[in-house]
Amino acid sequence: MRSLRHPTTGHVTLLAAALCALLLSMPLLARDRDHEHARKSLEAGEILPLRAILEKVERDYPGQIIEVELEREAERWVYKLKLLRANGALVKMKLDAADATLLGIKGRDIAPASKPEGVR
């Protein structure tokens, strides 16, 4: 008659650690693919470089950019930004990565900066 061996605590711990490592690596693999896709889109001229987006935002909405994300949404690339205005207001913006068109804005103090007279 064979005796059934029960896994020891060490085996269970090792198995749990391996499973956790596998699950944690899955989002990293997805992000690597997204990063590669974004890089190819930039090289193909399908999206603007981040610098161009930031220059437009800084000109129209002065403040400190505190977070930037580039995401694929409904067949288009979108830059999502969080901006801290001088008065402490937090503004969340969504811009089309292809042409910097403002797609959405939320927060207090969301009016664009006024331009000096004679400037268009």
Tens of pLDDT, residue by residue over 98-110, are: 999 999 999 987 8
Looking at residue 28, what is its pLDDT?
45
Per-residue pLDDT of the chain (120 residues; tens, 9 = 90+): 555 555 555 555 656 665 555 555 444 444 556 678 777 877 888 889 989 999 999 999 999 999 999 888 888 899 999 999 988 999 999 999 999 999 999 998 788 886 544 444
State how far the Cα of 82 lies from the Cα of 67, in Å rounded to an integer: 5
Tokens at residue 114, please? 């006024």
State how far the Cα of 103 lies from the Cα of 74, in Å rounded to an integer: 13
Alpha helices in 1-120 (DSSP H): 9-43, 50-60
Domain ranges of the chain: 9-45, 47-107
> 25 Cβ partners below 8 Å, 6+ apart?
none
pTM of the complete model: 0.64
- Burial code (b: 16+ CB inside 10 Å, e: under 16) for 50-75 equals eeebbebbeeebebebeeeebeeeee
State how far the Cα of 22 lies from the Cα of 13, in Å rounded to an integer: 14
CATH fold for domain 47-107 = Nuclear Transport Factor 2; Chain: A, (3.10.450)
Looking at residue 118, what is its pLDDT?
45
Contact 63, 113 (CB under 8 A): no
